[in-house]
Chains A and B, each alone.
Chain A
Amino acid sequence: MTRFFAAIAMIMTAFSAQANNVTTYTLDNGMEVVVIEDNRAPVVTHMLWYKIGSADEPVGASGVAHFLEHLLFKGTDVLEPGEFSATVAANGGTDNAFTSYDYTAYFQRVASDRLELMMQMESNRMNNLRITASDVETERQVVLEERNQRTENSPNALAREQFRAALFQNHRYGVPIIGWKHEMEQLDLQDALDFYDLYYSPNNAILVVAGDVKPDEVLALAETYYGVIPAETQLPARERPEEPPQRAERRITYVDQRVSQPYLVRSYLAPERDPGAQTEAAALVYLAELLGGSPFTSALGQALQFDTQTAIYTNASYGGASLDDTTFDFAIVPSEGVSLSEAEAAMDEVIDAFMEGAIDPERLDSIRAQLRASEIYALDNIDGLARRYGAALTQSLTVADVQAWPQVLQSVTEQDIKDVATKVLNRDQAVTGWVVANQEEAR
């Protein structure tokens, strides 16, 4: 009994320590600032997140958000092309950027006493980009090669594109982040600049600084470098097309001779974490674990990989971090000699049995314990914490939501899980995809 008590006390300490280490400010121009203090190593991660991603792109210009991300490494009024990264490297740091459906983010990881230089350069490229037509030509080739590498050379990635395009009937989550190839080929300087001028603004940005820093010093630097940039008065409200009621199951077979092994996936439309309302999302985290988390203990793993040899791989997954509706996904790789239709039927049997049966309380306790521990392990990775806050704040969540999330997860009940499963696991709102090397395998 005593030991149990001690364990709880320790975990509470870890939680409150985390909350205490996070400080937030809002600058007068509307820019949000989040500081996460961790003094274990003399390192800082400086991240600037823009609340603009591929799902905000104008029709016909898919890929422009990501293309612009590449162009930000070209010159500004005071930085030569490539000088930004070269300067970071010359200070012993590394830098890069990434684009997703809901955000575009730039980051540097350097010795903490170099933070000011990073802010100076990052704030400079918020408004002062100087791109030439030849930069655009070369960099368009680079992003097309990136698409080649990530997508065109990968049958799995091409299949995923097809499935997402079918799942989202109205929302831009159905368009690939990197862009459709034929639209990427047409992206020009003006497309990129239009996007840049409007959306790269302090009132559309979140600064996250994590590491060996003092919050008040970060705030002072942020005021100096970002605080002087005027807010964009024309910044439009972030309104996106919503999904209509989805009324019919969709089924797709993707055939590509480079597929080595037939498999199937099913994606259901699912709710995301919403401000002040994260319970459904938390219940979906449990649902994914229970149905297809660990192959050894989940319902699908046990039934298809242990009790029978129907599959060599099973998985269910859910990522609740999203601005709009997200997905709940299954994947099954059948065993040798098992057809896709047999594997799919076996998967649906497991799902049906789960809906009808009770949930083992020991499994729930085990998942709760793992989620609690994952918060402790997360403290070891300061970059991961920075990303957690940055992504959430671009996806309409607040710092309070991020900090409440572990507790919301701990409070999930069996009823919450059953309720959300009934709502989400509706095949009228789902795409089932088969991926095969030839038509003969599609049976």
Chain B
Amino acid sequence: MLRLTIALCLTLFGTVARAEINIQEVTSPGGINAWVVEEPSIPFIALEIRFRGGATLDLPGKRGATNLMTALLEEGSGDMSAQEFQTELERLATSFSFRAFDDTLSISARFLTENKEESIALLRQALTNPRFDQTALDRVRAQIISGIASDAKDPNSIAGAVFDAAAFGDHPYGSAIDGTVESVTGLTQQDMFDAHRNALSRDRLYVSVVGDTTTQTVGELLDGLLGDLPETGPALPEYVDFGLAGGVTVVDFETPQSVALFGHKGLKRDDEDFFAAFILNHILGAGGFESRLMTEVREKRGLTYGIRTFLVPKFHAEMMLGSVASGNDTIAEAIDVTRNEWARMANEGVTEQELAVAKTFLTGAYPLRFDGNAEIAKIMVGMQMVDLSPDYVVNRNDFVEAVTLEEINRVAAELLQPDDLHFVVVGQPAGLESTQ
């Protein structure tokens, strides 16, 4: 039986704008849940599907299998070769995107209302009956190996790889999801079928749909689209501690501008201090031109084009990260200033005014995100993955507003640990050496 929960007509009040969004939840007879927004004004539909797990589900010795498998989902299924499948998609002007990430396998689909049935049938075929033809496997493998070679000569990718390996070691977070030339070279068709069986299961499935359709229709098509997938998947990896102590790692690479990736441990998405940390991060380094780090490193000193910080609450670890790039002669100064700002905010906190300005921006900007079918579908599926309910879109700004100065400054002192910051610097930085 199709279960439709009562339509929640949600009004998002920002500081300055309000947006109305009507999120409906539907559960198919087979028990698959989806969030739907009916938006008939443009004759197309945006569909977002996520599976939790992603590349963390690579089996031992098979690093890169989930990534390669995901790339092959568009390369032939059912009785269609890769070229036949793509010819059909092009004829319908339908687009599918299949991507693997650390913790997620992500599928985005976009199709015209008039081509809905045919598009859904093709997507079903790709998800439940992929072929993993040897020729397709070999062709896509060569592309991935080329990408691995390219990453090995890209300063930003090198910095990421060195940082992750030092922070997470043998845990899947410690290596790139692409795998290594060696591991990818060894992958077989059977590995693809195994990875497919493991990464697409209904117990880790999240769905959202926005566009020219009805909640009833979505409820009726979910079982056909996804019902044939296995009910459960294998165990997810263990939680892993952030294992990188404070310091500097210099990776020698001949290029005029050094890039630095830095960070220390962070906090969980469901931590009661998350919103305080979220605002703190905004003031420190995520708030564009207004952030303290942009002001100090770029606007006052001209040391960089951009510096940014991020809260990274993954499913099995948490980090607070930042990145900056500066000429080889000036990167040491950029790092000094960054460390000092980190310490200043940890010791002195933020001002009442900074907090007020950040809240105004964050609450004002929130409703502006809901400005297109594809955007709304992505936001909704992301909310489901971190266990939020539809009314979060209404309450979210209240959570931001509720953070007090005392609270944010307590969190600043706890979260920001300048001595724990580790900087991985790729380039030929003057006056910087690796610490022991």
Contacts and interface: CB of A to CB of B under 8 A. Distances in A.
Interface stretch (B80-88, B166-174, B232-240, B313-321): B80-88
Contact of A296 (B87, B152, B288, B302): B87
B257 A92 contact: no
B350 to A, nearest CB: 15
Contact of A141 (B44, B92, B302): B302
Interface in A266-313: 294, 296-297, 302, 305-306, 309, 312-313
Contacts of A82: 289-290, 295, 299
B365 A93 contact: yes
16 contacts: A42-B17, A82-B299, A91-B364, A92-B364, A92-B366, A94-B288, A140-B302, A145-B326, A261-B150, A296-B87, A297-B90, A306-B82, A312-B142, A366-B87, A377-B44, A382-B371
Q: Closest 5 CB pairs between A and B? A: A92-B364, A141-B302, A111-B17, A373-B93, A296-B86
Given A138-B300, A138-B301, 10 more contacts: A41-B19, A42-B17, A86-B357, A92-B365, A94-B365, A113-B17, A145-B327, A148-B326, A296-B85, A380-B374
Contact of B43 (A10, A40, A333, A374): A10
B304 A260 contact: no
B302 A92 contact: no
Given A40-B39, A92-B360, A261 B90 contact: no
Contacts of B361: 89-90, 92
Contacts of A377: 44, 110
A92 B363 contact: yes
Interface in A61-104: 73, 81-82, 85-86, 89-94
B90 A370 contact: yes
Interface of B: 14-19, 39, 41-44, 46, 82-83, 85-87, 90-93, 110, 112-114, 138-139, 142-143, 146, 149-150, 152-155, 254-257, 259, 287-290, 295, 298-306, 325-327, 357, 360-361, 363-368, 370-374
A313 B155 CA distance: 23
Q: Which of B257, B290, B357 has the largest number of chain A CB atoms within 10 A?
A: B257
B368 A366 contact: no
Given A86-B290, A92-B360, A145-B325, A335 B150 contact: no
A139 interface: yes
A10 B259 CA distance: 51
A113 B366 CA distance: 15
Contacts of B139: 305-306, 309, 312
A154 to B, nearest CB: 9
Q: Which of A260, A305, A382 has the largest number of chain B CB atoms within 10 A?
A: A260
A282 to B, nearest CB: 18
Nearest to B304: A145
B87 A149 contact: no
Contacts of A144: 327
Given A92-B364, A260-B149, A41 B371 contact: yes
Q: Which of A3, A89, A144 has the largest number of chain B CB atoms within 10 A?
A: A89
Contact of A10 (B114, B298, B300, B357): B114
Given A92-B361, A111-B16, A312-B142, A146 B290 contact: no
A402 interface: no
A94 B18 CA distance: 17
B44 A139 contact: no
Contact of B112 (A109, A114, A312, A376): A376
B90 A366 contact: yes
Contact of A145 (B146, B303, B368, B372): B303
Given A89-B357, A94-B288, A40 B41 contact: yes
Contact of B16 (A3, A91, A257, A335): A91
A376 B360 contact: no
B44 A376 contact: yes
A194 B139 CA distance: 55
Given A153-B325, A369-B93, A377-B44, A93 B142 contact: no
Given A90-B361, A113-B17, A296-B87, A380 B373 contact: yes
A93 B364 contact: yes
B308 to A, nearest CB: 13
Contacts of A137: 302
B17 to A, nearest CB: 3
A296 B43 contact: no
A7 interface: yes
A17 to B, nearest CB: 9
A109 B90 CA distance: 33
Contacts of A259: 153
Contact of A6 (B114, B138, B363): B114
Contacts of B298: 142
A313 B144 CA distance: 11
Contact of A92 (B16, B152, B371): B16
Contact of A85 (B87, B288, B325, B363): B288
Contact of B368 (A109, A138, A379): A109
A422 interface: no
Contacts of A240: none
B43 A152 contact: no
Nearest to B357: A90
Q: Which of B149, B155, B289, B373 has the largest number of chain A CB atoms within 10 A?
A: B289
A380 B370 CA distance: 11
A297 B83 contact: yes
A43 B289 contact: no
A149 B159 CA distance: 15
Contacts of A309: 138-139, 142
Q: Which of A94, A145, A335, A370 has the largest number of chain B CB atoms within 10 A?
A: A145
Nearest to A372: B93
A153 B42 CA distance: 42
Given A85-B289, A306-B83, A153 B371 contact: no
A281 B309 CA distance: 43
A89 to B, nearest CB: 5
B367 to A, nearest CB: 7
A14 interface: yes
Contacts of B18: 42
Contacts of B155: 153
